[in-house]
Amino acid sequence: MVFTARGRPSSSLRFQVQSQGLAGSPGRRARSRQRGQNGRVLWGPRSWEAASGSSPRRMGCGHSRLSCCKPPKKRCQGPDQPPKPELQELGPLNGDTATTVHLCASEEAGQHQKALTRILQQHEEDKKKWAQKVEKERELELGEKLNEQRRVLEGEHAEALRVLQASHEQDKEALTHSFQEAKAALQETTDRLTAQLEAFQAKVKRVEESILSQDYKKHIQEYGSPSQFWEQELESLHFVIEMKNERIHELDKRLILMETVKEKNLLLEEKITTLQQENEDLHARGRNQMAVSRQLSEDLLLAREALEKESQLRRQLQQEKEQLLYRVLGADASPAFPLASLTPTEVSYLAT
């Protein structure tokens, strides 16, 4: 049996009711019941007049013109006349129809409730999928932003390191150039001093030779030809003088070398001090860069934890909201509620 949205029976129900005994009209059923056993009509206009003993009425009289225009009198039932049988038959039929309509309305309400539950479940699944998708997109976006920041910081770090290396190379080249210039100047000074020393030594030698020759000649003039003893003494003196001269030359060379080494050591100490300062600066900058990198890593971890907490909180709030909405819709749902008028779009709008 099919019912419409307003609770009225459809054409199939009317056809079934007519097939159960309502196919004929009430007048036809009344006329069928007015016939007796012998086929005569028991209830009718003429038979009722015959039974009551009244004279048969005519439509009019020849002596009265208004008698033909008088309205017919209303037929009324006698006090002992039984009620119409069609009303007695329609009573239980109306009760059965109301019960059937009520049952069908209950079934329709149950079907609508099931459809609404299925729509809400589908909507909840869709919302969960969209929430997961949005969360993944946010995580990807945050990861891309953090990667972009990391790339920017790495680029800045590489640029700063390149600048430091370039400045270090420039300082190194400048120090090397100044060292070469100082070395060349020292070499020139050393050569000049060596030449002066050699000239001085030659002069001293000449003076010594002249003094020795003068003494020797004077001795020969005073004492005549020298003896063998004096010749040995002179040879020993010449040997001692030569040894002393060699010793003096060695000491002079050592002194010059020591002065040169001392100057080189001073330059190297200055260079070492400068390089140590630059190295300390580079280490400090490297430590700063490492601290910045660690801070960024900690910020990344904190941001991820905050994102996870926020996503969990949003999921929890969404679940609570959907549960409350489901409870509200389940409490408000009734057979009189126009569930057929709700569309999936409206249900999703209510859920959101």
Q: Name the residue type at position 248.
A: I
pLDDT of residue 302: 92
Q: Is residue 123 part of a domain?
A: no
Domain count, the chain: 1
Do residues 209 and 198 lie in contact, with contact meaning Cβ atoms separated by under 8 Å? no
Helix extents (H) in the chain: 11-17, 26-33, 45-52, 85-223, 228-332, 344-351
Q: Please indicate, yes or no, if residue 290 is contained in any of the structural domains.
A: yes
Q: Considering the domain boundaries, does residue 117 fall inside one? A: no
Residue 190 within a domain: yes
Q: 4 near 10, Cβ under 8 Å? A: yes
Q: What are the angstrom distances between the C-alpha of 53 and each of 56, 57, 79, 338?
A: 9, 12, 17, 62
Model pTM above 0.85? no
Q: In this structure, what token pair is assigned to residue 230?
A: 């004096």
C-alpha 348/C-alpha 119 separation (Å) is 8
- CB under 8 Å to 248, separation ≥6 — which residues? 201
Question: To 10 degrees, what angle do helices 26-33 and 85-223 make?
Answer: 150
What are the tokens at 167?
């400045």
Tracing tokens 């060349």 back to the chain, one arrives at 184
pLDDT 10s digits, 159-175: 888 888 888 888 888 88
Question: Can you give the residue range of the structural domain that contains 166?
Answer: 140-311
Domain annotation covers residue 214: yes
The 10s digit of each residue's pLDDT in 226-255 is 565 567 777 778 888 888 888 898 888 888
Residue-wise pLDDT for 315-339, tens only, equals: 999 999 999 988 888 876 544 444 4
Q: Which two tokens stand for residue 175?
A: 């120090």
Q: Please check whether residue 272 lies inside any domain of the structure.
A: yes
In a domain, 49, yes or no: no
Within-domain flag for 268: yes
